[in-house]
Amino acid sequence: MSTYHALADDLGAYRHWLDAQQRQDLLFHFPQNMQERVTYRYFGHLKRQVFLGELAASTAAHRMQTVIDFYKFLSKTDYFIPEHPAWKARQVSLTFKTNYGAQVVKKVVTTDLRLKAPKPSDAFRETILDGGELRPLTSVEQGWLLDALLSLGNTEMYLLHWFMIATGARIQTACTLRVGFFLGLPHAFGGRSAGEQQVVKLLCGPGTLIDTKGGKNGILQIPLALFEAMRTYAHSEHAKTRRRVAKEGDHQNQYLFLTNRGRPYYLGKDDAQVFDPERTSSYLCDGGTVRKFVSDRLLPAIRERHDPQFHFKIHDLRATFGMNCVDLLMSRVQKGEITLSKVLGTVQELMWHSSLQTTERYLKYRSRMEMIYAAIDGYGEQVQAWIVGANSLGGSDE
């Protein structure tokens, strides 16, 4: 359903632009003059928005592709066939390597309405490529984050952020946790570890009602202290009140985290597939409430209390968990207790990485940043020497 929502947003933006042109026939306007055709005019509009900084290049590219797919659909269903081509198409070959190193050539069709969204190259970027550009928070910044969350007094947001840092869970996983697991009710998707281990295992993915990226099954390792805090919250009157006002009320498969109106922060895939005839709101539970809390309350609180330039996005907490794991395990490597390959395999399993290359980026992150800072610091010293030399020349009488 989130895919349909994104397509609807794109088509809505296209409709909004069409209405602003004040021409009722523009939707199907494809004259001989190519630049007058509606697809090319909209393409020019999107390029102008990107140039003026009103729209991200990636968003513009997505909107244009949705419009292209829309006209392809109309043509395929014989609803409308343009008098002149809506775009020029050509076939190109893309070469890439699989996770196993095999080279694959794939032929795709592209058009002259393709909007490029190049990413700037920044050798000094403090990010890791893991489903996006993620910036691991330092231990000091993690302290700032939890300190600010405590000061704001929002229990749900505090536990959500703590859970993501401590387990590496994505936002859709953390927000679709079910209350029954934390109430101690029997569930097929989780349980405590045996023996003296201080973690609680939780199976997530298809069949558990807990969402994961790509519908992948995986096990989260929840530190016992965090599990106990979340269990205390689940039993609290505060949480019960929210569950009572939620749709279908208080039951074991209800979301653990709900807003004060009883709405989930992120609607699970199973619930999103069910048509609700009583729904009159266009409100979509896709983590937007959490992100708004971060931008409107959490970031200002951290900047006021600690660093005016501090920034982070919610998905950075996943990278933070990954780097925390690497740092803890690397200390054992230095002591000779485990091997580097053992670290790699453990972090890959904890992060649910399909590709070992993604995990290797976490191991290389610290050394890469050290080299970059060393290069910049060294160059800065050289520049300073040049400045001193230039000032001494400036004092000459010649």
CATH number for the domain harbouring residue 204: 1.10.443
CA distance 120 to 56: 13
Q: Which helix (H) or strand (E) holds 15?
A: helix 2-21
Query: How many domains, in total, are found in the chain?
Result: 3
Domain annotation covers residue 303: yes
Q: Are residues 221 and 288 in the same domain?
A: yes
Q: What is the pLDDT of residue 350?
A: 92
Q: What is the pLDDT of residue 293?
A: 95
Helix locations, 335-395, DSSP H: 340-351, 356-394
Domain annotation covers residue 238: yes
Q: Which amino acid is at 102?
A: A
Q: What is the pLDDT of residue 285?
A: 77
Q: Are residues 162 and 302 in the same domain?
A: yes
Give residues with Cβ within 8 angstroms of 358, minimum separation 6: 129, 130, 351
Q: Are residues 355 and 302 in the same domain?
A: no
Domain annotation covers residue 130: no
Of 87, 115, 146, the residue at which a domain comes to its end is 87
CA atoms within 13 A on the CB side of 125: 12
Domain annotation covers residue 26: yes
Q: Are residues 74 and 142 in the same domain?
A: no
Domain annotation covers residue 382: yes
Q: What is the pLDDT of residue 147?
A: 94
Q: How far is CA 363 from the centre of its chain?
A: 21
Please return the burial class of 170, using the count of CB atoms within 10 Å of its CB with bins 0-12, 13-18 and 19+. Answer: buried
Closest C-alpha to 188, from 202, 169, 167: 202
Which of helix, strand or coil describes residue 293?
A: helix
Beta strand spans in 135-205 (E): 190-192, 199-204
Q: Which amino acid is at 20?
A: A
Domain annotation covers residue 242: yes
Domain annotation covers residue 7: yes
Of 87, 118, 151, the residue at which a domain comes to its end is 87
Neighbours of 392 (CB within 10 A): 9
Give residues with Cβ within 8 angstroms of 348, minimum separation 6: 356, 359
Q: What is the pLDDT of residue 256?
A: 96
Phi, psi of 56 (to 5 degrees): -70, 145
Domain annotation covers residue 176: yes
Tokens, residue 251: 């039951």
Q: What is the pLDDT of residue 175?
A: 95
Q: Are residues 149 and 220 in the same domain?
A: yes
Q: Are residues 168 and 72 in the same domain?
A: no
Tokens, residue 67: 């419009």
Q: Are residues 188 and 247 in the same domain?
A: yes
Helix 57-76 / helix 38-51 crossing angle, nearest 10 deg? 170
Q: Are residues 185 and 72 in the same domain?
A: no
pTM above 0.75, yes or no: no
Q: Which helix (H) or strand (E) holds 327?
A: helix 316-334
Q: What is the pLDDT of residue 398?
A: 45
Q: Are residues 226 and 367 in the same domain?
A: no
Q: What is the pLDDT of residue 230?
A: 94
Q: Are residues 78 and 198 in the same domain?
A: no
Residues in the chain: 398
The per-residue pLDDT string of the chain (398 residues; one tens digit each, 9 = 90 and over) reads: 667 888 999 999 999 999 999 888 899 999 999 999 999 999 999 999 998 888 888 899 999 999 999 999 999 999 999 999 999 988 888 787 666 667 888 888 889 998 876 665 555 567 888 888 899 999 999 999 999 999 999 999 999 999 999 999 999 999 999 999 998 754 435 555 545 557 888 999 998 999 999 889 999 999 888 999 999 999 999 999 999 999 889 999 999 999 999 999 998 887 776 656 555 554 567 888 999 999 999 999 999 999 999 999 999 999 999 999 998 898 888 888 888 889 899 999 999 998 888 888 888 887 776 665 566 666 566 666 667 666 666 554 54
CA distance 313 to 175: 16
Q: Are residues 161 and 296 in the same domain?
A: yes
Q: Are residues 51 and 167 in the same domain?
A: no
Domain of residue 82 covers: 2-87
Give residues with Cβ within 8 angstroms of 356, minimum separation 6: 99, 344, 348
